Amino acid sequence: MSTEEEKRQAVRARCRERYLWILAKLSGNPVSVHMQGGGRVSGELLAVQGSGEHILVSGLQTPIGVLDKAVLRSSDIVRVTADWRLILDRQT
């Protein structure tokens, strides 16, 4: 493997590590999910599929009620927002 390729791999590994680290921090904490079409739901993030295709949420509050557990497709999601300060406060 060339030096340039090694550098590229190192960057990719670091980025992936950061991504997984943050997702792990978000797990078990309340999140707000902005859906395609303008809807917004909230719940507790339980897990994110390794491929990123689905996320698992508990206590999903929707306009028509609360779902105990729900699987959301990433293709239906615009963004998942988490209150970082709340997460840090919970850990201290």
Partner 1 sequence: MDLFKDMDHVSKYLGRPIEVELDTGKRRSEPISGNLVTVDPVTEGIIIARFKHISDAEPTWFDVIPRTAIVNISLKHNFDDTCREYFADFGMSSTSEQSSPPDVERQEIIRKRGEMYADYFRSHHIEVEELGDGVYVVCGNVKLLPPYKKDCFHCDMPLILNRILRMVERIPIQDDIQPLY
Q: By the criterion CB under 8 A, which residues form the site for partner 1?
A: 7-8, 10-19, 21-23, 26, 28, 34, 36-38, 50-52, 74-75, 77-85, 88
**Residue 27 or 61 having the CB closest to partner 1:** 27
The DSSP bridge pattern shows strands 40-48 and 65-73 to be unpaired
As measured in angstroms, the least distance from the Cβ of 43 to partner 1 is 14
Q: Are 56 and 47 in contact (CB under 8 A)?
A: yes
- C-alpha distances in angstroms, 35 versus 7, 22, 79? 36, 21, 7
As measured in angstroms, the least distance from the Cβ of 55 to partner 1 is 9
